[in-house]
Amino acid sequence: MDEILKIKANDLRSKICSGEVKSLNIVKACVTRIKKTDSKIRSFLKLNENKLLEQEATCSDKKIESGKKCGSLEGIPIGIKDNIMMKGESMTSASKYLENYISPYDATVIEKLKKAGAIFIGRTNMDEFAMGGSTETSAYQKTTNPWSLEHIPGGSSGGSAAAVSMGMVPFALGSDTGGSVRQPASFCGIVGYKPSYGLISRYGVCALASSFDQVGTLSKNVKDSALLASIVMGKDYKDPVCEPREQIDCISYIDDNLEVLKSVKVGIPRQLFNYKMDTEISENFNKAVDKFKFLSVKIVEVDIPSYKYIPALYKIIMCAEVSANIATFDGIRYGYRALNAENLDDEYAKSRAESLGYEVKKRILFGTYVLGAKNYYRCYHQAQKVRTLLINQISDAYKKCDFIFSPATLQMPVKFGETLSEECDVFLIAANLAGLPGITVPYNFTNSSMPVGMHFMGSRFSDVKLFQIANAFEKISDFDLNKYPEL
Amino acid sequence: MVNYESVIGLEVHMQINTKSKVFCECSTRFGSEPNLNTCIICTSQPGAIPILNKKAVEAVIKTGLALSFNINKESIFTRKQYFYPDSPKNYQITQSDQPLCSRGKLSIIVKGKEKIINITRLHLEEDTGKLVHKVGSRKLNYSLLDLNRAGVGLMELVTEPELRSPEEAFEFLNELKNIVEYLETSECSMEEGKMRCDVNVSMRHVEQQEYGTKVEIKNINSLSGVRNAITYEIERQKEILDSGGKLIQETRLWEAEKKITKSMRSKEGALDYRYFPEPDLVPFALTNSFIEGLRKEIPEFPRARKMRFIKDYGLTEYAASYLASTKVIADYYEKALSYMEDKKASSELLANWIFTELNAKLNVSKIFISKSPVSCQNLAKLVSLILDGTISRKIAKTVFDEMFEKSSDPEKIIKEKGFTQISDKSVIAKICEEVIYENSKAVSEFKSGKKKAIGAIVGLAMKKSKGQANPQLVNKILLEKLKT
């Protein structure tokens, strides 16, 4: 592996700007790495043309040489999950339905990255319409976990996670509706960040469940996620739920000394101990807690009884929104259309039956059920009430602590074909249900050399503080950031 | 024979009069080339998110205030789900639980009696596109989709079931249309589909408290259609009930040509719309100052304005009613009146000129009064010139023709053409003498007692003066001269 690929994005930024490192060399190294390893990892659905990439990199290098003003990610490669719109490019959301779809516009996050001078290497694999936690529901290919090829990379942003983990790109964008950035990041031994709901524009991101969807970042370390988040965040009139907040340079708030640990109060939900957890995870979690204690970090127990309802209420609300959001894929205006339909209803039925995968159909049916006139109050409405209850209980918890700390997942990545439990991502999903920021940070390797990650969840719009604690945690973790998977 | 009472409720959709659609920036222009006014939002491309048009909210609230609604400061949007190609998202963004306006009312006058009709709700939603099944007269074996209308703002109004006859329903719609047109929040033309009305009709015994089985009638596209459809439906339901039959709850379509309603679907076939709160749009909170600001923009309504025209300007019932019924005409009248020195003295003549000469000319040339080539100020001048005797009424008509054609100032026309009225007695006396001398036959007829002959003699004198002589003076002087 080319040593240049081990330079973190934030350092690359200064090295490219000072001329110490050429963008062209990084891009070439990325492409070589992808060529060498992605036949086994299968993280990219589409790679941009080599010639074009080299042209763009050369262009960035020239800009820097001539002293022209350059963007804050000038010449740095990035991977983009295939559910984010880029004008003139395909956008499949890993569904057969959108196999030939070309985006007519740029998502706001893409617009911002273009302005920042980033170089788009390609589009990463995912679960179909981001529905899944293994990237196995992709209509196109299965992405493997770079640390063990028989294991899932997690999902739905499994392609982005695997690509970053493997060192094919320094960082990538994903989307997180119910842990879809943080869970694969944790499974692949990298950092995954989901912002507070409303911090990053959703405009141009293929919707899964609108009230949970947020664009998230995947990177080797915390600072790179902070860097990427700083670029793509901020108000956008095109997304009404996006809060009118200015962009913040998150990195400037991150200190590498461990001062933050002295003032912070870390909360651990009492409910955490009710769950069945893989031994390697609970052992590492306990070690992490011990380390906090050793460093005199204040640890408090918090009580969030509604945690037990999380899987059910997430499933109900998410599927309800899915059933409406996916309805637009009807074979009429764009996308897959069945050719042998007899009438309009048959056209809808066949187009959808032939182009949507099992998981997608299952969620549409479930969502349709919970919104039916007979079930609405007992299912959907009830779930929204419990969601409010959960939000209130979490708010109460934040009166006692600054962050809620937990393992990222309850289980280690499973082998292909095996399923994770419904509760596996419960700590991650809590953040989506409550609109809170969350970040997973790799903590250690297991005996079988698989990464284990921990999760911090902050209060709404405490994203900068979240990066501070995550960065400190990264410093005290036993994870070797310079270790990359070997194939 | 059983004594029945008909119970009628209305659901009215009105297209909101805004430049752009309710959730995107596309134009709302009617009659554009198919699919010209579309974008990623109203064609529902992946990743598109609706953005609420504030002007549409303002229009609904203004309408709500005019109809005495309670304005809900906190309001949310809802997704109403059903599959149909004219609705690209396959759900409609509408409002259900917390509409913008609840509990309004409208007063109508039927057979000289006032009745207050309570209105349940008024909310904001989006319109659908159109499916095209024909090109010219050629029927297609496929359908074309035109999404120009998809996403245009609509206000939906639902009345309480308090209307009791086709006439009441007709009057309600008429009055609603007057008010909304006055507010300029919708153009309300049923012909262009900018106002649509569904009707619920049920029957019950006069003494009965509970409602009978309700039938919904759709596809009515004119005001008279509403009246006819209800009349037909009442008769149909009566017949069934009288013959001992039972009504079924269903939706029926009005067939305007055959003048009948026809079953479309029964209650069992009713759709489950799977409503839920729209997660893409944040619930919005309206401030008092926003609402009060809109209240100030609400104009005086037709009925009040008509009464004021009668009281303040001494207009006849007919003239006041004609002028006040259309806001632009009433505005034109009052603006023209503002140029007059003596408003009381000129109000009636000015009104006459608007609803006779101006109206006739506008109709013939198919021009709206808002685009009238005769400005308020010029019409006011013309009327002043008549009133101060500068020109005769007859000359005024000639002057008006030219004003209409060239948008010119009447004073200028009169000066150029030498149209000024002759009121110099010596000049008129001379003309009269000439006419008497030249028309001995008519003169002798008059003198022999045929009083009507005076008209012909006056006409001849007027003709001789090229219409410029003051007709009253001509009349007076001729009579004096003929008596001697």
Place of tokens 């300007």: B313
pLDDT at A287: 97
**Nearest CA distance, B317 vs chain A (angstrom):** 52
| Closest chain B residue to the Cα of A368, Cα to Cα | B274
Q: Which of A49, A34, A42, A32 is nearest to A88 (CA)?
A: A49
- At B1, the pLDDT band (50, 70, 90 cuts) reads low
Containing H/E element for B197? strand B195-205
CA distance B136 to B267: 36
**What token pair was written down for A208?**
């899964």
> Chain B interface residues facing chain A, Cβ-Cβ under 8 Å?
40, 43-52, 79, 81, 83, 85, 88-91, 145, 272, 274-276, 279-282
Q: Do A105 and B49 touch (CB under 8 A)?
A: no
| Closest chain A residue to the Cα of B89, Cα to Cα | A328
Q: Do B49 and A203 touch (CB under 8 A)?
A: yes
Q: Same domain for B30 and B114?
A: yes
Q: Do B279 and A368 touch (CB under 8 A)?
A: no
- At A233, the pLDDT band (50, 70, 90 cuts) reads very high
CA distance B324 to A199: 53
- At B414, the pLDDT band (50, 70, 90 cuts) reads confident
Domain span at B461: 425-483
Task: Look up the pTM and report it.
Answer: 0.87
pLDDT at A443: 98
Place of tokens 């040489």: A65
Q: Count of domains in chain B?
A: 3
CA distance A97 to A354: 8
End position of a domain, from candidates B292, B315, B343: B292
Least confident of B18-22, B49-53, B359-363: B359-363
End position of a domain, from candidates B292, B314, B348: B292
By Cβ distance, the residue of B49, B52, B274 closest to A372 is B274
Beta pairing partners, A90 = A102
**Nearest CA distance, A30 vs chain B (angstrom):** 29
- At B466, the pLDDT band (50, 70, 90 cuts) reads confident
Q: Same domain for B72 and B196?
A: yes
Output the average pLDDT for chain B: 92
Asked if the model's pLDDT at residue B267 lies above 80, the reply is: no
Q: Same domain for B84 and B175?
A: yes
More confident residue, B224 or B448: B224
- At A459, the pLDDT band (50, 70, 90 cuts) reads very high
More confident residue, B466 or A42: A42
| Closest chain B residue to the Cα of A371, Cα to Cα | B274
**Nearest CA distance, B283 vs chain A (angstrom):** 10
- At A187, the pLDDT band (50, 70, 90 cuts) reads very high
Least confident of A233-247, B238-252, B259-273: B259-273
Q: Do B274 and A324 touch (CB under 8 A)?
A: yes
Q: Which of B109, B161, B143, B101 is nearest to B125 (CA)?
A: B101
Q: Do A333 and B40 touch (CB under 8 A)?
A: no
By Cβ distance, the residue of B47, B52, B89 closest to A107 is B47
End position of a domain, from candidates B239, B270, B292: B292
Average pLDDT over residues A112-133: 98
A249 contacts: CB under 8 Å, gap ≥ 6: A230
Q: Same domain for B459 and B433?
A: yes
Q: Same domain for B433 and B395?
A: no
Q: Same domain for B22 and B166?
A: yes
CA torsion, ordered B236, B242, B244, B245, to nearest 10 deg? 10
- The pairing of beta strand A77-81 with beta strand A171-176: parallel
A98 part of contact set with chain B, CB < 8 Å: yes
Summarised one tens digit per residue, pLDDT across range B170-202 is 999 999 998 999 899 999 988 888 999 999 999
- At B221, the pLDDT band (50, 70, 90 cuts) reads confident
pLDDT at B341: 86
Q: Same domain for B96 and B169?
A: yes
Asked if the model's pLDDT at residue B27 lies above 80, the reply is: yes
Q: Do A211 and B279 touch (CB under 8 A)?
A: yes
- The pairing of beta strand B153-159 with beta strand A119-124: unpaired
- At B423, the pLDDT band (50, 70, 90 cuts) reads confident
Summarised one tens digit per residue, pLDDT across range B359-413 is 999 999 988 898 899 999 999 999 998 888 778 888 899 999 999 999 989 988 8
With beta carbons under 8 A apart, name residues in chain A contacting B276.
320-321, 324, 371, 376, 380
Q: Candidates 1.10.1040.10, 3.90.1300.10, 3.30.70.270, 2.40.40.20; correct CATH number of A1-487? A: 3.90.1300.10
With beta carbons under 8 A apart, name residues in chain B contacting A373.
272, 274
Q: Do A105 and B282 touch (CB under 8 A)?
A: no
pLDDT at A202: 98
User: Using an 8 Å Cβ cutoff, are A218 and A185 in contact?
Assistant: yes
Q: Same domain for B83 and B178?
A: yes
Q: Same domain for B410 and B468?
A: no
Q: Same domain for B11 and B80?
A: yes
pLDDT at A337: 97
pLDDT at B301: 87
Q: Same domain for B214 and B337?
A: no
- At A117, the pLDDT band (50, 70, 90 cuts) reads very high
Asked if the model's pLDDT at residue B479 lies above 80, the reply is: yes
Average pLDDT over residues B155-160: 98
CATH number of the domain encompassing residue B439? 1.10.10.410
What are the residue numbers of the active site of A?
81, 156, 180
CA distance A304 to A298: 19
- At B480, the pLDDT band (50, 70, 90 cuts) reads confident
Asked if the model's pLDDT at residue B266 lies above 90, the reply is: no
Q: Same domain for B411 and B462?
A: no
Least confident of A92-96, A276-280, B67-71, B134-138: B134-138
Mutate which of B280, B282, B284 to disrupt the A interface (most A C-beta within 10 Å)? B280
Domain boundaries, chain A: 1-487
- Kindly tell me the burial class for residue B282, based on how many C-beta atoms sit within 10 Å of its own C-beta (0-12, 13-18, 19 or more): middle
**Nearest CA distance, B35 vs chain A (angstrom):** 12
**ipTM for the complex shown:** 0.96
pLDDT at B319: 92
